Structure 1
Amino acid sequence: MTDPAPLVDPAAPGFSEILVEAVRGGILESVHRGAIAICTPEGEVVEAWGDPSRVIFPRSSCKMLQALPLVESGAAAAAGLGPEQLALACASHNGAPIHTARVSAWLAGLGLGEPDLRCGPQEPHDLADHDALVRAGVCCDQTHNNCSGKHAGFLTLNRHLGGGAEYVEVDHPVQRAAREAMGEMTGDPDLGYGIDGCSAPNFATTLKGFATSMARMARPQGLGRVRAAAAASLVEAMMAHPELVAGEGRACTEMMRAMPGRAAIKTGAEGVFGAILPELGLGVALKIDDGGTRASECAMAAILVRLGVAEAADPAIARRLNPPQVNRRGLTVGEIRPAAALA
């Protein structure tokens, strides 16, 4: 009897591998396929799972790249922005008071307000904060949007550039600057764009290109004086204020706290995750095929442990590396775990 044909041709473009498994009762129940690239600033692929040339939307994991023009243009300095605002510019935050109050104050400092945002309203991620709004009879607004910090950054850059109010249009000077920065940092040609959940364009990149951009943020000395300083300030802000990058209970915040000063990590929708590793001078990009967050967090935790920047036993890492599957009676009935290729 001959062996069955593989489900996926390893030579096919876009090839992915099993990265994460769900086990119940000791039996493999589900798998998450995806691809990962670990790159140097020169674009060398140090290690990869799946096809590193596959094209992805980086979604919110690329916010630090979108924020580069804010800093390198001089707009951030002219507006008096500090590390907290720069962290928020890179954030997908919970919409908690620590986030919304800072965004509101930032906008007020520009002589602007919530109606000037173009990200749309969003209910707070945290249930307690959501319930507090309901009890107070207050509706969520655009400052609660997880991308409101990024959009406050866009508005700051827009004031500096003198652009029109609709800063999310793809041909607007703000988005042209973001597109240029993305292309230069990834080294990819123009691969098109899609509209993100916050209405801003999200520019496509290869997985290798995105990992390369993360490595260039990690070791920016080859980017030129102005961009290198901008990249360093954004990475330092993220690592100094992990609570502003996401929020309590979130993977980005908790895992950065577990590796202080060693990594800046950022999740994105549809199973994307990026990591900036200054000590190693490496960048990581991963994409889970089915868009599952449980899988992207598990895979990123496994990579951080594999590269020696995180400890598997740290509670914040362990919660993502091997999260137990608990039923409605509180019984542990299974676990999520990295596949053998990552373990």
Structure 2
Amino acid sequence: MTHPIPMTELWRGPLLESLHLGHAVICDDTGQIVRSWGDPNAIIFPRSSAKMIQGLPLVTSGAAAKFGLNSEHLALACASHNGAAIHTDRVSAWLDHLGLAEPDLRCGPQEPQDMAARDGLILADDTPCQIHNNCSGKHCGFLTVTQHMAAGPEYLEIDHPVQQACLSALEETTGETSPAYGIDGCSAPNFATSLMGLARSMAWFASAADRSDRASDAAQQLTAAMIKHPELVAGESRACTELMRAMQGRAAIKTGAEAVFVAIIPEKRMGVALKIADGTTRASECAIAAILVSLGVLEADHPATRTFMNATQYSRRGLECGVIRPAPGFPG
């Protein structure tokens, strides 16, 4: 087995304080590896980086069309959002449109990452609910498919038609049989795949315009929705949102818990998947930025890039104290 390789460094003064190792793969539209680092066959849980794949049945089943969903709904279905008002208001409206309410969700409550929303709850002496969960958009997508299928309300059960449709979508786009599943933070099944399989899936999304089948049309719609609404996919100051804005439509990117990151690059018909071995998000954000720069779809000196890659670290008094940057030779 190939070991993970150095990808991201954190320097403090003259010393290397932290080193993050990982694996990454770039695949082309034929599903072949263009370049890889570490072990392309590493089996991982894609976590929330798979939300576009989980969103495919929402479109291919006809549920999105039946319920009149637009690009904002599709972006939210792919989102790991901050729980800001722009997210929760839309999730609430989506549930209402379905004739459902917050208790119909199965994602669990979560404190919003958005500071204004968090402070608002505190000032109102209120507590977070499931609508604040960063995955509530994905779960609204699950509920939409559930209603369309006239399936049971426990849509997170592994044998539920919605989850079986998600498994089929993952296996068809990765070209692999998933070897296992785990339970994600939002309580949904998360199906394991190889890093190469995940990159192959992203390349399949990236090359969807070259095909005319229903699944490829769905992939185009989901990718376009993410690119059109980067603020709904994550939120202000988040890497997904800021880097997609910086690329101005050239790529859709998505993070996943435990330092997974993927990219869909339509103009190159390529997909990227990476995983930082120790699960540190700052390292995956730096690494994906470095790969996107190397592929020519992200400017190295863009302010958004410099927030996550070659980013100066400051003390709480504003003194320069370090830098987070790609490891020497990565991506090369």
TM, length-normalised to structure 1:
0.95
Residue identity opposite 1:219 in structure 2: S
> Are 1:192 and 2:180 counterparts?
yes
User: Which deviations, in whole Å up to 9, do the C-alpha atoms of 1:195-234 show, x marking residues without a partner?
Assistant: 0000000000100000000000011156651011100000
> Are 1:144 and 2:137 counterparts?
no
**How far apart, CA to CA, are the structure 1 residues paired with 2:146 and 2:89?**
21
User: Which deviations, in whole Å up to 9, do the C-alpha atoms of 1:256-290 show, x marking residues without a partner?
Assistant: 00011100000010000000001100000000000
Instruction: Measure how far apart 1:317 and its partner are.
Output: 0.8
> Are 1:301 and 2:301 counterparts?
no
**How far apart, CA to CA, are the structure 2 residues paired with 1:101 and 1:129?**
11
The one of 307, 313, 322 equivalent to 1:325 is: 313
Percent same amino acid at aligned positions? Answer: 60
Residue identity opposite 1:183 in structure 2: E
**How far apart, CA to CA, are the structure 1 residues paired with 2:303 and 2:211?**
36
The one of 29, 33, 36 equivalent to 1:41 is: 29
The one of 101, 109, 132 equivalent to 2:89 is: 101
The one of 229, 244, 254 equivalent to 1:241 is: 229
**How far apart, CA to CA, are the structure 2 residues paired with 1:56 and 1:305?**
25
Task: Give the match for residue 46 of structure 2.
Answer: 58
Residue identity opposite 2:34 in structure 1: V
Divergent runs of 4+, >3 A: 221-224
The one of 72, 78, 84 equivalent to 2:72 is: 84
Residue identity opposite 2:109 in structure 1: P
Instruction: Measure how far apart 1:328 and its partner are.
Output: 2.6
SS at match of 1:168: coil
Task: Give the match for residue 103 of structure 2.
Answer: 115
Instruction: Measure how far apart 1:41 and its partner are.
Output: 2.5
Whether the 8 Å contact between 1:21 and 1:337 is mirrored in structure 2 is: yes
**How far apart, CA to CA, are the structure 2 residues paired with 1:98 and 1:329?**
32
Task: Give the match for residue 274 of structure 2.
Answer: 286
SS at match of 1:213: helix
Whether the 8 Å contact between 1:23 and 1:30 is mirrored in structure 2 is: yes
**How far apart, CA to CA, are the structure 2 residues paired with 1:252 and 1:304?**
12
**How far apart, CA to CA, are the structure 2 residues paired with 1:84 and 1:325?**
35
> Are 1:260 and 2:248 counterparts?
yes
> Are 1:161 and 2:159 counterparts?
no
Task: Give the match for residue 9 of structure 1.
Answer: none
Task: Give the match for residue 207 of structure 1.
Answer: 195
Task: Give the match for residue 270 of structure 1.
Answer: 258
Residue identity opposite 2:280 in structure 1: G
Task: Give the match for residue 5 of structure 1.
Answer: none
The one of 290, 299, 313 equivalent to 1:311 is: 299
Q: Which runs of 5+ in 2 are unaligned?
A: none
Task: Give the match for residue 232 of structure 1.
Answer: 220
- The alignment's C-alpha RMSD in Å is 1.0
The one of 165, 172, 181 equivalent to 2:160 is: 172
Whether the 8 Å contact between 1:41 and 1:213 is mirrored in structure 2 is: no
Task: Give the match for residue 20 of structure 1.
Answer: 8
Whether the 8 Å contact between 1:216 and 1:223 is mirrored in structure 2 is: no
* Stretch of structure 1 that moved more, 42-51 or 222-231: 222-231
Instruction: Measure how far apart 1:326 and its partner are.
Output: 1.6
Instruction: Measure how far apart 1:27 and its partner are.
Output: 2.0
TM, length-normalised to structure 2:
0.98
Instruction: Measure how far apart 1:14 and its partner are.
Output: 5.0
Residue identity opposite 2:241 in structure 1: T
Residue identity opposite 1:286 in structure 2: L
**How far apart, CA to CA, are the structure 1 residues paired with 2:279 and 2:178?**
23
**How far apart, CA to CA, are the structure 2 residues paired with 1:128 and 1:74?**
36
**How far apart, CA to CA, are the structure 1 residues paired with 2:126 and 2:81?**
19
SS at match of 2:18: strand
**How far apart, CA to CA, are the structure 2 residues paired with 1:94 and 1:22?**
26
Task: Give the match for residue 119 of structure 2.
Answer: 131
Instruction: Measure how far apart 1:25 and its partner are.
Output: 1.4
SS at match of 1:274: strand
Instruction: Measure how far apart 1:40 and its partner are.
Output: 1.1
Whether the 8 Å contact between 2:31 and 2:204 is mirrored in structure 1 is: no
Task: Give the match for residue 3 of structure 1.
Answer: none
User: Which deviations, in whole Å up to 9, do the C-alpha atoms of 1:75-132 show, x marking residues without a partner?
Assistant: 0000100000000000000001100010010011111010000000001102222011
Whether the 8 Å contact between 2:206 and 2:270 is mirrored in structure 1 is: yes
